[in-house]
A and B are shown apart, each in its own frame.
Chain A
Amino acid sequence: MLTRRQLVRRGIVGAILFAAAGATAAFWWPTRRRRPRPGLRVFDESEASILAAVATAVLAIEPGAPSPEDVDVVGRVDALLARSPAPVRREFARLLHLFENGTTGLITATGWTSFTAAGPASREARLRAWETSRIAVFRTGFQAMKRLCAAAYYSSPASWAAVGYPGPPDVLA
């Protein structure tokens, strides 16, 4: 018989939470939305708002450097996912709702407010809890969000100057 610890390690608990919590999120803890954005193909307004908040916290761009909004991280992730199979798009959207959801904040002991409504310290604690969680599915979720944000931001030439990358060498002439 499986012990509880084994269950957690196998991510079964996490998988069930994934299914259940996503559905309830929208009713209990409304997402703090930013202004509507036109032209997105995958994300709805609340998903775009959650991802924008995640990108801000994950990337921690200092004032003066192009912000995630300037680089349009949300739009770039949206464009990438638009080329991905439908199940991938659905899973990522579900992940965003789960991350936003206060229920998972309770499970990870990082407060019960939604992510978008939380303050900076609470946002950092939520990300750290997912990054290092004993529940494998949370770690997977953290990686999905972090990697997409980082790839979207740092693939943009606008991001290069602030990290000292001079851009490709001039060999095309």
Chain B
Amino acid sequence: MSAGAAIPNLVRGRDVTADRTIDADVAIVGSGPGGSIAAYRLASAGARVVVLEEGGYHTRPEFRMQEEWSYPNLYQDHANRTTDDLSITVLQGRSVGGGTTVNWTTSLRTPAATLDFWKRKRRVEGVSLEALAPHWDEIERRLSVHTMEPAEINENNRVLREGAKRLGYGFEPLPRNVSDCVLTGMCGLGCPVDAKQAMHLTYLPDAAARGAVIYADARVRRLVRKGRRVAEATAEVLDESGDRAAGPTLTVRARTFVLSAGAINTPRLLQRSAFPDPYKIVGRRTWIHPTLASAAHFDRRIEPYFGAPQTVGSHHFAVRPGKVGYFIETPPAQPMLAGLAHAGFGPEHRRAMKELPSSAVLIGLLIDGFLDEERGGTVTERAGGRLSFRYERVPPLEEAMREALKTMARIHLAAGAREVVTFHEPPLRIRSESDLAAIDAASVAPNRCALFTAHQMGGAPMGEDPGIAVVDSRLRHHLFDNLYVMDGSVFPTSLGVNPMISILGLSSLASSALAKAG
């Protein structure tokens, strides 16, 4: 078991009993991958850095592999975040370390084709594989990114590998950011042995060792502007429950502000602060890798709740010219997540749950944002501080939903599944290739077929054209000289891979340049 370094000088909500005014060189909102590596780079360059994190500071002693504790405490809106119509479940981290505390560890670099698309279609300049490579090299070393040994691959992932192999689909081992992983499979609940090299164990302690001060339980309410500059940020200190204002406020004055609150909360903060948005782009074009799930029953034990998730993936269908591509991965399936996700009700739902030990589960993630007709999601801050999130479906997306479902069913059947159970309402049962026509016939309208997202991107995109981008290619706001966005919001499309390493690499590139510029 690796020893988890505590974050020196971290301030919790309960430590703040009166209003405080804080002067800093750089104020960073959010402690996920974007904010953490920016804090490290800037503090390393000698800047006085303050990080304001809305979530609590939760660490290994609390990570006891209990879904009933982890989901309400480590996810946005107690893991009840969804689109307005509940048709897409939004899993998004909320604690010191952000999404890295609860993600499933997949550590892939941004595909070259995605960077090329941004350059050609969204006027992004200087964000290239060559520019990012040295940053990624260093990040991957710091986070112990590596692929698993064959013996470390669980049954659920072997099913994907076997099925893909028999069908001739490409598949690959997925690198993970773990050190001395003991394969609990509980990554989504906070790693119980500190094997996962999340931000609260890596770049945040590194930044704090160089003088950065991290505040937990500090929810930034608004930014105050003065001409072309941001003058201060005001935050409310949250109480022990993590939900309600405890009373004291923090006023942070800084020379530079960095927003790293993630692709839903960063646009909300800009909206809440009533910052100008002449082209109506803040919170628009939010991309989410709309994610389908599919389960299959086998005549042997799979135990999809144990063992490292996402050690094998398939990008065989990632590029489908003129269509929405998708990739396939393997989630962990503990009972609560399985119970939430399984479609239907009554005996059919119960039966699916009782087959959990012999079930394999796949997810299909749609690569959204690359077709002209796609509009993606719209994030709006409503009165009373509530989120409105809508996601627009277009026919190519529904086509890809059906194709991804069929691909997952084929993989499971090829690997020897007795029966595939889809997440349609009501669920379809598929026992052979000839049953796949049922997927073409079934409705995939909102709440007729379960969709999830664990990857939130866009809403404050980068690019040189202020008509379509909120920040420039160095991640500086087009209208404010001392305001930067360093998180998944800046991606002009989705990525086609799990986002952590892309966010780290791009934020590292931008914050290094900012540090040099002084």
User: What residues make up the interface of A, taking CB atoms closer than 8 Å to B?
Assistant: 11, 57-62, 76, 80, 83-85, 87-88, 124, 127-128, 131-132, 136, 139-140, 142-144, 146-147, 150-151, 153-157, 159-160, 162-165, 168-169, 171-172
Q: List 11 A–B pairs whose Cβ atoms lie within 8 Å, in order of A's numbering.
A: A57-B345, A80-B72, A87-B386, A131-B344, A136-B446, A147-B340, A151-B340, A154-B67, A160-B335, A164-B354, A172-B192
For residue A84, which residues in chain B have a CB less than 8 angstroms away from its CB?
77-78, 80
Q: Tell me if B299 counts as interface (CB < 8 A to partner A).
A: no
The smallest C-beta distance from A95 to any residue of chain B, in angstroms, reads: 11
For residue A154, which residues in chain B have a CB less than 8 angstroms away from its CB?
67, 335-336, 338-340, 353
For residue A139, which residues in chain B have a CB less than 8 angstroms away from its CB?
425, 446-448
Question: B304-322: which have CB < 8 Å to A?
Answer: 305-306
Bound complex: CA A37 to CA B318 (Å): 53
For residue B349, which residues in chain A have a CB less than 8 angstroms away from its CB?
58-60, 150
- Contact between B448 and A171 (Cβ–Cβ < 8 Å)? no
- Contact between A83 and B72 (Cβ–Cβ < 8 Å)? yes
Q: Tell me if B66 counts as interface (CB < 8 A to partner A).
A: yes
The smallest C-beta distance from B507 to any residue of chain A, in angstroms, reads: 31
Additional A-B contacts beyond A87-B384, A168-B66 (7; CB < 8 A)? A57-B345, A58-B345, A131-B426, A154-B338, A155-B67, A169-B306, A171-B193
Beta-carbon nearest neighbor of A128 in chain B: B426
Minimum-distance CB pairs A-B, first 7: A168-B65, A154-B339, A150-B339, A139-B447, A155-B68, A164-B357, A155-B336
Bound complex: CA A74 to CA B64 (Å): 24
- Contact between A155 and B384 (Cβ–Cβ < 8 Å)? no
The smallest C-beta distance from B86 to any residue of chain A, in angstroms, reads: 5
The smallest C-beta distance from B63 to any residue of chain A, in angstroms, reads: 9
Bound complex: CA A172 to CA B191 (Å): 11
Q: Tell me if B144 counts as interface (CB < 8 A to partner A).
A: no
Beta-carbon nearest neighbor of A153 in chain B: B339
- Contact between B335 and A132 (Cβ–Cβ < 8 Å)? no
Contact with A along B341-363 (1 / 0, CB 8 A): 01011110110011011000000
User: What residues make up the interface of B, taking CB atoms closer than 8 Å to A?
Assistant: 64-68, 71-72, 77-78, 80, 85-87, 182, 184, 186, 192-193, 241, 243, 305-306, 334-336, 338-340, 342, 344-347, 349-350, 353-354, 356-357, 384-386, 425-426, 445-448
The smallest C-beta distance from A22 to any residue of chain B, in angstroms, reads: 18
- Contact between A150 and B425 (Cβ–Cβ < 8 Å)? no
- Contact between A144 and B86 (Cβ–Cβ < 8 Å)? yes
Beta-carbon nearest neighbor of B242 in chain A: A83
For residue B78, which residues in chain A have a CB less than 8 angstroms away from its CB?
80, 83-84
For residue A140, which residues in chain B have a CB less than 8 angstroms away from its CB?
85-87, 446-447
Beta-carbon nearest neighbor of A58 in chain B: B345
For residue A58, which residues in chain B have a CB less than 8 angstroms away from its CB?
345-346, 349
The smallest C-beta distance from A156 to any residue of chain B, in angstroms, reads: 7
* A61-B350, A62-B350, A84-B80 known; A131+B345 contact, CB < 8 A: yes
* A151-B336, A156-B68, A165-B335 known; A85+B384 contact, CB < 8 A: yes
- Contact between A136 and B447 (Cβ–Cβ < 8 Å)? yes
The smallest C-beta distance from B154 to any residue of chain A, in angstroms, reads: 12
Bound complex: CA A157 to CA B339 (Å): 13
For residue B192, which residues in chain A have a CB less than 8 angstroms away from its CB?
168, 171-172
Bound complex: CA A11 to CA B390 (Å): 14
Bound complex: CA A146 to CA B350 (Å): 12
For residue A142, which residues in chain B have a CB less than 8 angstroms away from its CB?
345, 425, 447
- Contact between B425 and A169 (Cβ–Cβ < 8 Å)? no
The smallest C-beta distance from B196 to any residue of chain A, in angstroms, reads: 13
Which of B77, B86, B342 is the most central at the interface, judged by chain A CB atoms within 10 Å of its CB? B86
Which of B85, B339, B345 is the most central at the interface, judged by chain A CB atoms within 10 Å of its CB? B345
Bound complex: CA A151 to CA B193 (Å): 25
Bound complex: CA A172 to CA B192 (Å): 7
Bound complex: CA A92 to CA B192 (Å): 34
Bound complex: CA A11 to CA B444 (Å): 17
Bound complex: CA A139 to CA B86 (Å): 9
Beta-carbon nearest neighbor of A57 in chain B: B346
For residue A160, which residues in chain B have a CB less than 8 angstroms away from its CB?
335
Bound complex: CA A143 to CA B344 (Å): 10
The smallest C-beta distance from B356 to any residue of chain A, in angstroms, reads: 5
**Cβ 8 A contact of A168, one of B186, B344, B357:** B186
- Contact between B386 and A143 (Cβ–Cβ < 8 Å)? no
The smallest C-beta distance from B198 to any residue of chain A, in angstroms, reads: 17
The smallest C-beta distance from B64 to any residue of chain A, in angstroms, reads: 7
The smallest C-beta distance from A130 to any residue of chain B, in angstroms, reads: 10
The smallest C-beta distance from B252 to any residue of chain A, in angstroms, reads: 26
The smallest C-beta distance from B407 to any residue of chain A, in angstroms, reads: 25
Beta-carbon nearest neighbor of A120 in chain B: B346
